[in-house]
A and B are shown apart, each in its own frame.
Chain A
Amino acid sequence: MNEVFGCGIDLEELSRFDKYIRNNDYSLMEDICTERELMNVAGDKRARLALSFSCKEAFLKALGVSWTNSNISWKDIELLFSGPGLDGYQVYLYDHAETLLRENKARIGETSFEFNDEFVLFQVVLVREDEG
């Protein structure tokens, strides 16, 4: 069994993302989401934006850092859905997030999310790489 390097859980209220969609104003999201993430929000925009943000927060927590005490950028963590629904997805780490994980000889062990009409919750477990 792999040793756990870090766990992160983040809960976001869906309604907080309503105004961006209602006003078709993605300027804040452009600061924190990658171009691919923003192109990937078609369909259930609210849930996808909330999950994208929640994923980033959960990974920062699992890595034991925040965007204000590390060089990790919000865009270093990317959540992409593979289809029109929310069932298939992939998380990609870049630059400082990927480096921090690699320097600690860790990898993504497990990710999952849940949601209902009010909230989304994203969780991640990072594990140490097997020795040898």
Chain B
Amino acid sequence: MPEITQEMRDQVKEIVYNFFAEECEVDRESINSETKVIEDLEGDSLMFLELLEIFKKKYNLTVGVESIGKYIMKHPAETVGKIVDLILLIIEHGEKISEIG
């Protein structure tokens, strides 16, 4: 289980913010942790799956989308900040993320 360092947190945040800025064609500075992905950025499922894919490749993760879906079912990730937290949990727990209560 990899230890989440502050450097990793900053890196994940940077990638997530830049990803949404580019994909949603908005100013990077207009995005903050409270920005709502669907309502404010008009994000969608495919965008979220693409973001996951970036991190799966970057950190060599083998977690399936079903496991992530099960976690999100219990803990909805509606804001950019929550997406960052979710990605960090996926990196930390991998496939076992679905077992988190």
Contacts and interface: CB of A to CB of B under 8 A. Distances in A.
B50 interface: yes
Interface residues of A, number: 16
Nearest to A54: B46
Contacts of B65: 31-32, 67, 73-74
A40 interface: no
Residue in A68, A69, A71 with the greatest tally of chain B CB atoms within 10 Å: A68
Interface string B66-89: 100110110010000000000000
B81 to A, nearest CB: 17
Main secondary structure on B side of the interface with A: helix
Interface size class of B (residues with CB under 8 A): 10 to 19
Contacts, number: 33
B46 A12 contact: yes
B56 A27 contact: yes
B22 interface: no
A68 B73 contact: yes
B57 interface: yes
Interface of B: 45-46, 49-50, 53, 56-57, 64-66, 69-70, 72-73, 76
9 contacts: A12-B46, A28-B49, A28-B50, A68-B76, A69-B73, A73-B65, A73-B66, A73-B69, A74-B65
